[in-house]
Amino acid sequence: MTNSDFEPLNPGDTIGIIGGGQLGRMLAMAAAKLGLKTIILEPGKDCPASEVAVQTICAPYDDPAALKELVKSCKVITWEFENIPLDAVNFLKENTLLRPNPLALEKSQDRLTEKQFINDLGIATAPYYRVDTIEDIKQGLDRFGSDAILKTRRFGYDGKGQSRLSKQAKSADISAAFDALGRNPSILEGFVTFSREISIIVGRSTNGDIRCYDPAENAHTNGILHTSTLPANITPETRNAAVRIAEKIVTALDYIGVMGVEFFVTPTGDLIVNEIAPRVHNSGHWTEAACAASQFEQHVRAVSGWPLADPTRHSDCVMENLIGDDVNKMPQLLTLPDVSIHLYGKAESRAGRKMGHFTQLSS
């Protein structure tokens, strides 16, 4: 169905969310704050979002009966993660209002397609080389003349599905790296020299309005976001360039909702898009503590056909993820002033698992 078939939602209406992790949980809470109901579709039992949603349908993402039930009960359906099975996407596209535009899923589910799409907009990415065979990897390394990262084209996140390769990598190393990715279709990304990593959380509404939160400066540990700091240590020119790129991407996709765009900032201040995430994004969690309306509210407003919120930041801040046993810092965090804590209700803390985050405000 097309967007023009639909009126904006009213308070009391229901939004379907595909995926019941912490992003779904925070979307559900933001929807509740605006008087909207949510139904979660998630195969995992006792998922984080189920605790704050009106209903949870516990079934695979592509379960036909579950999808039908979701369509029947919801005015609009959105998602918290991009790796939704294409069968489900196609069913929803045909039978209900699915927002954002699923074209964004098509582009972002495959690293190769994503990079081609971004380059086609005249926006820089890391150099990349399509990999189907061992030979492709060798050719790519030769071409770049630099260290590189081998990444699966699909289903990678938080540094998973990746292997680093030296430019002098031997055949055995190359073979082992490709084996580690199951010899799945991959891309080789040439190493980019960068000064810092930033991201923009951009929202676009049904009427084409676009609002960007201030860029966050991000630090990663073991491939997982560790901190997002506001303001980022960048020039106004770099900031404006990042905003223009984010605007260009959401416009090209006729996107409705919130998207995270990750950038490398080169030593000369140029921007290279690392990745786009067609959903609310970990590097935007600070918005809940430092803005009148969070990225989660912004996404809910957009998919509801409502006006976007003002993304102005009232405070500087640092958001820090609580990964695995970091959550044991909770008693100490509770004693700190000007800190907003957010836990995700996950029973078991495992290495690398995102258990929560906190945002330290400053003036």
Footprint on this chain of a copy of itself (rule: CB under 8 A): 11-12, 25, 29, 32-37, 51-52, 54, 289, 292-293, 301, 306-307, 309-310, 312, 314-315, 327, 330-331, 334-347, 356, 359, 361, 363
Which is nearer to a copy of itself, 44 or 182 (by Cβ)?
Answer: 44
* Shorter beta-carbon distance to a copy of itself: residue 189 or 297: 297
Residue-wise over 177-205: b if at least 16 C-beta within 10 A, else e?
Answer: bbeebeeebbbbbbbeebebbbbbbbbbb
Q: Which is nearer to a copy of itself, 108 or 304 (CB)?
A: 304
Burial profile 28-53: b = 16 or more Cβ within 10 angstroms, e = fewer: bbbbeeeebbbbbbbeeeebbbbebb
State the nearest-atom distance from the C-beta of 270 to a copy of itself, in Å: 32
- Shortest distance (Å) from residue 31 CB to a copy of itself: 10
Longest dimension (CA), the chain: 61
Range 275-314 burial, b when 16+ CB lie within 10 A, else e: bbbbbbbbbbbbbbbbbebbbbbbbbbbbbbbebbebebe
Classify residue 339 by burial, with Cβ atoms within 10 Å: 0-12, 13-18, 19+: middle
CB of 26 to a copy of itself, least distance (A): 9
The residue (of 51 and 63) whose beta carbon lies closer to a copy of itself is 51
| Nearer to a copy of itself among residue 131 and residue 323 (C-beta) | 323
Instruction: For a copy of itself, give the closer residue by CB, 22 or 162.
Output: 22
Considering the complex, what minimum distance in angstroms separates the CB of residue 254 from a copy of itself?
Answer: 22
99, 104, 86: which is closest to 17 by C-alpha?
99
End-to-end, the C-alpha distance of the chain in Å comes to 46
